[in-house]
A and B are shown apart, each in its own frame.
Chain A
Amino acid sequence: MTDQPILSMQDVTLAFGPKIIQKNITLNVRKGSIFAVMGGSGCGKSTLLKSMIGLLRPTTGAYHVQGDNYWSGTEAERTEVNHRFGVLFQSGALWSSMTIGENVALPLQMFTDLKPPVIRRLVELKLGFVGMLQAIDLYPSEISGGMRKRAGLARAMALDPDILFFDEPSAGLDPITSARLDDLILNLRDGLGATIVIVSHELSSLFSIADDGIFLDAKTKIPIAHGSPRDLRDHCDEPQVHAFMHRERDEKGSN
């Protein structure tokens, strides 16, 4: 594989109408890496993720997926690219009127010509990866929050995507479940060879899994640091980043 990044943004500005969320975003996500989007609350992490999965069009700048300009394509081309994305939403976002198995099966039913028994087998496999096989016939309301996250992960993997996006995967989970989820993410990355973009402020999990990243600042509305969370923790002089990585309070009272 060449060094061409699988996802790249050049000088992107994200805004809702006149309200600018982040500007001057330039980032490159290497193939097979785990890329962390970091920053305090309200700095636009989730908005950046939204724009990466095609839910929000940047006002300026270019977004390339494996060298192709994402937003210059037609709607159909974008849908085609989106099939390479798997997204785990913050609270799972499972379709509540369907069982877990049906949730995972729906993308397969819609976008492949596979026969029902084959789909069933793949659904069992994906749920097996995340250890949720026993919940295949349960409804999302009948399982716990951690299980919902794992089921969401299985659904994100339904179409064997090569880029997975996780929005706060460990938020609201206990440390043990959260650590298990980290292991699972690493296993899946190594096993499937997928690239992972992860939005999180869970430091322990960032340090253990991410190998690249970007740090967004809420006040200046620009990215202020690039690099893996471990590097940023050890070598970044930016006071904001230092405070974030070392769990320090901002003494100047900017928050």
Chain B
Amino acid sequence: MQQSRVSGPETQAAPQWQLDTRDNASILTLSGTWLARTGNIPAFPENGLAKAHKGTQLSFDTAHITDWDTGLIAFLWDLKRVGHDADIALDMQSLPAPVRQLLQLLPDAPQDAPAPHAKRMPVLEKIGQSSISSLEEVGTVSELAALTAKGAFQAVRGRSRMRFVDILANTADAGPYALLIVGVVNFLIGAILAFVGAVELQKFAAGVYVASLVGIAMVREMAAVMTAIIMAGRTGGSYAARISTMQGNEEIDALNVFGITPSTYLILPAVLSLVITMPFLYLYGCLIGILGGFIVSISMLDLTPAGYFHQTFISFGVGQFVFGFVKSIVFGAFIGLTSCRIGLKAGRSAADVGIAATRAVVVGIVGVIAIDAIFAVLADVIGI
């Protein structure tokens, strides 16, 4: 072992080299300590062998080297490459055997590296590229939706390969386990709405309309949207992370080889469980939100409980319930599909799993709000 670990670089002689060029042979004398971690290993200059004649031999005098490790090999590798270009042979026999053995592993000439990854694209090309790929993405998600729907249809007819256990596990995760967080958020939303409404409406002695405000807001918008946002963050992110990890472990490939399509085995239970649980979570959210509003109103305003509930229930019709119900089903399907799609599309590295989870949450939240806007316009057109 030629390495020493006793002394710091300051106590060691610096690595030095000296080239003696003669007519038919050259001698390179090396001395000092050649340790890589000292960081002072010299580079052999490109024109270092300019004086030596072509076709001659270069031998080494290594008697004065006190200590070496791969630092010396780094220097000799430079020399080997320069020597190769200058057509000067190295007398390997004059090197110590370990050095010779390591040096022989190294190539003479630098190999062509493959093209670097990141290419800079002109702005227009970038915009075009991203538009095309996002359009393609819409197509792929629709195709996936169609496949999943087909799978669901087959499941109804009892010919699907989906396992009941999977859907049960997914549903438990997306349903009962989400009750607490959905409840807390919706309760607070209801309470905040009531609080804001009460402050304003009290000025007009219209405190009782706080009940209508909270009721309509929760049933029509807030319960569905807030629940969807929570589920996008909670369940969508986990689907994307799970599927992209499976992708990295070649588990998806294994499924495909068996002829188990990911759309029925993975995506269908995920989407179905969200489609099943979201409407219930929405109803639950409405109820809890109204309860939140009720508690704030009762404590702040001069209202009776019966009066509050009466005002709440006359403020919205069944149509608005149905509207929120349909919305939450669409949200559930959207979150399930996009997060699974993002997981399937993800790369195979650990960082890609993180990216996939982040994207699933971002796409889920932005998408839910965008779809909600479309619904708002639709509702206006058909007059709900």
CA distance A97 to B348 in the complex (A): 9
CB neighbours (8 Å) of B348 from chain A are: 96, 141
Q: Which of A137, A139, A187 contacts B113 (CB 8 A)?
A: A137
Residue in A closest to B41 when the chains form the complex, CB atoms: A118
Residues from chain A with a CB closer than 8 A to the CB of B77 are 125, 128
A1 to B43, CA, bound (A): 33
In the bound complex, what is the Cα–Cα distance between A97 and B356 (angstroms)?
14
Q: Residues of B within 8 Å of A, CB-based: how many? A: 37
A179 at the interface (CB under 8 A from B): no
> Are A134 and B74 neighbours in the complex by a CB distance under 8 Å?
no
Interface presence of B97 (CB below 8 A): yes
Residue numbers in B under 8 Å from A141 (CB-CB): 347-349
Q: Please encode chain B, from 74 to 102, with 1 for each CB lying within 8 Å of some chain A CB and 0 for all others.
A: 10010000000000000000000111011
B74 contact set on A, CB distance < 8 A: 121-122, 125
Chain B CB count within 10 A is highest, among A97, A133, A159, A190, for: A97
Q: Which of A19-27, A107-115, A199-207, A228-236 forms contacts with chain B?
A: A107-115
Chain A interface category by residue count: 35 or more
Question: A192 contacts which of B37, B98, B114, B248 (Cβ < 8 Å)?
Answer: B98
With the chains together, A140 CA to B348 CA distance in Å?
10
Does A54 reach chain B (CB closer than 8 Å)? no
B37 touches A114 (CB 8 A): yes
Is A136 touching B39 in the complex (CB atoms < 8 A)?
no
The answer to whether A193 and B98 touch across the interface, beta carbons within 8 angstroms, is yes
Distance of A253 Cα from B278 Cα, bound (Å) = 55
A16 at the interface (CB under 8 A from B): no
Query: Which residues of the other chain, B, contact A133 by a CB distance below 8 angstroms?
Result: 107, 110-111, 113
Q: Is A31 an interface residue (CB 8 A)?
A: yes
Q: Does chain B have a CB within 8 A of A129?
A: yes
B10 within 8 A of A: no
Q: Is the CB of A162 within 8 A of B3?
A: yes
Q: Which residues of B contact A187 (CB under 8 A)?
A: 101-102, 104-105
Query: In the complex, which residues of chain B have a beta carbon less than 8 angstroms from the beta carbon of A173?
Result: none
From the candidates B70, B98, B110, B116, name the one contacting A125 in the complex (CB within 8 A): B70
List of B residues within 8 angstroms of A157 by Cβ = 70
Q: Classify the interface of chain A: helix, strand, loop or mixed.
A: loop
Chain A residues whose CB sits within 8 angstroms of the CB of B97 once the complex forms: 190
- Report B-chain residues with C-beta under 8 Å of the C-beta of A97: 349-352
Residue of A nearest to B115 (CB): A137
A134 touches B98 (CB 8 A): no
- What does the 1/0 interface line of B340-384 toward A look like (CB < 8 Å)? 000000011111100000000000000000000000000000000
Contact A136 B113 (CB under 8 A): yes
Q: Does A226 make an interface contact (CB < 8 A)?
A: no
User: How far is the CB of A252 from the nearest CB of chain B, in Å?
Assistant: 35
Give the complex CA separation of A131 and B39 in angstroms: 24
- Interchain CB contact under 8 A, A160 and B98: no
B355: nearest chain-A partner, CB-CB? A97
Distance in angstroms between the alpha carbons of A219 and B351 in the assembled complex: 41
Chain A: CB-nearest residue to B35: A160
B61 is an interface residue with CB less than 8 A from chain A: no
**Any A CB within 8 A of the CB of B69:** yes
Taking the complex as formed, is A184 at the interface, i.e. its CB lies under 8 A from any CB of chain B?
A: yes
Q: B39 to A112, Cβ gap below 8 A? A: yes
A31 and B101 contacting across the interface, CB-CB below 8 Å: no
| A191-B351 in contact (CB<8A) | no
Q: Which residues of A contact B105 (CB under 8 A)?
A: 128-131, 184, 187, 191
Q: Residue-by-residue, is A154-179 near B (CB-CB < 8 Å gives 1, otherwise 0)?
A: 00010110100000000000000000
Cα A193 to Cα B2 with chains together (Å): 7
Interface residue A243 (Cβ < 8 Å from any Cβ of B):
no
Q: How far is the CA of A136 from the CA of B69 in the complex (A)?
A: 22
B37 neighbours in A (Cβ, 8 Å): 112, 114, 159-160
Residues of chain B within 8 A (CB-CB) of A188 are 102
Contacts of A184 in B (CB 8 A): 105
Shortest C-beta distance, A94 to chain B (Å), equals 10
Residues of A within 8 A of B352 (CB): 96-97
Cβ contacts under 8 Å, B114 to chain A: 134-135, 137-138
B117 CB within 8 Å of chain A: yes
Complex contacts, B1 vs chain A, CB 8 Å: 1, 31-32, 162, 193-194
**B39→A190 contact, CB < 8 A:** no
Chain A positions within 8 Å of B99 at CB level: 191
Asked if A134 and B69 sit within 8 Å, CB to CB, the answer is no
Query: In the docked arrangement, what's the CA distance between A211 and B132, Å?
Result: 61
Given contacts A115-B39, A133-B107, A137-B113, 8 further A-B contacts (CB under 8 A): A97-B352, A114-B39, A121-B74, A122-B74, A125-B73, A128-B107, A135-B114, A140-B349
A residues sitting closer than 8 Å to B (CB atoms) are 1, 31-32, 95-97, 112-115, 118, 121-122, 125-126, 128-131, 133-141, 157, 159-160, 162, 184, 187-188, 190-194
Q: List 10 A-B contacts (CB under 8 A).
A: A96-B348, A96-B350, A118-B41, A122-B70, A125-B77, A128-B107, A129-B102, A160-B69, A187-B102, A192-B102
Q: Which 4 A-B pairs have the closest CB atoms?
A: A96-B349, A97-B351, A191-B102, A193-B1
